Structure 1
């Protein structure tokens, strides 16, 4: 039983990913404790932070142990079903000498092998470890090129997979409208990813002029101009387009601002959008009395991996005459970008610049253009349009019984 095994140690490389773990465990009704500095914890999850839990206990009982007393902290940990921390945080002094029978590493495809070693050292000799991740999404962030060349930028998840350890694929997604999932299911997962949620359960948000109402995906061409800020980029014309989209979506009162995410590959663009909207950095509490667009979450694509919202608006930023897209050309980053939304996806960008990227963005734009999903452009493939419309009509059972993500052949 869980009581005999003791708590499960769940780790991820970033604080954002650990917050996602903590929130998921709490939503599932598990007794979860988050280790780490309270200021590094998302404001709505502070009550699960170990130091905050000790402080609350002290406030309720003046005779309780002091906040910093390890015995009190260890007692809270022993009562937990799940202990969450960053990989580095697994070496926290409060866990000194503590061993776990079960260790889980989330976002393992984005975590270096060296980082994974820290929680693994906390596993009992007869324990088990589970790596949960997706090597088709973003890899570990390595700032030193030499280190990356030497192989330290490869995750343990990817290394095991490349050496013949076959991952167990979770081949049914329950997040996205089937039409949103259609392209990544084929382009990133070879048609093996199917949808377990129907279009009827993911109605398109009102207030957005969806070219195809049955498919809440659109590309909005914007003739802006990129500008550099240090090593980052921003695009003021796209910011104005994002503001207009948000105003239109919120005017219909069909979607809460907290269920809208604006993501962009570049930190400079994210900062500019946050300044214009008046919203806080990711994980920080909005100002008292904040309403409307000030409650929208704005983040980089990398920072939003593992997250989801009902409506996602993407600002791609790059707009130049040479067709340079920088790290937007990584297909793993595109995969993360277009798989964050549940009900609707709007991509704002410069068509000519993005379509110059023949290996990543051009295939997605071609897919969208064939199906009439580029705002202001007619569909070039009526058959593909019909197939995409059909997804809206399929039930969960029909979606799950499909042989692959194209839904053209059903099992007998």
Structure 2
């Protein structure tokens, strides 16, 4: 079909349409899934690469065309889609990937955090604060766990709670720690608790290193020593996958 004008060459258009119908895999942009020869096509399975850099409306284009299974590939704490400044104010730059991850993780965490609506006899007398390095995760956790104080790490400096629950968020196969590479943030978290700290996160991401890397960074070694001093709780499979523990 190379070099053919599909808008005017009916024969080439029919051949291209036939080839599309007979294809198992179709590669296109999200917006392109609704244009041209793909306008009337439906997709049972949709794989969105770099999903964290797509706006929600863009990601929804292929997802609403008969999709029964979607696979979103990306990193929810990497750079977002580039949009106009006024669009950022309305959250237009937040991807389906990031929103779904935050909501899923928050709902899982809510199951193990005691709240006024879900008291625990051993914890009701203790103050609890949930800290996270990312403001979007802070918002999602606050909505999912009413009655418990949720804050960013930076916003909680100078304050204390009996129990601090630290949600690290980061979970990826490249062992990228993002904001957590700053050891001062870890220090702030550990110094906020009067009784104990609960860390919910992915141990492999926080302590591991990519193949071929020249040893572990100092912050990775610190996290490794921290985990060695902690008691490890293995959650059931469903929650374990969500927490990345």
TM-score by length of 2: 0.45
- Structure with bigger RCO (C-alpha 8 Å, 6+ apart): 1
TM-score (norm 1): 0.29
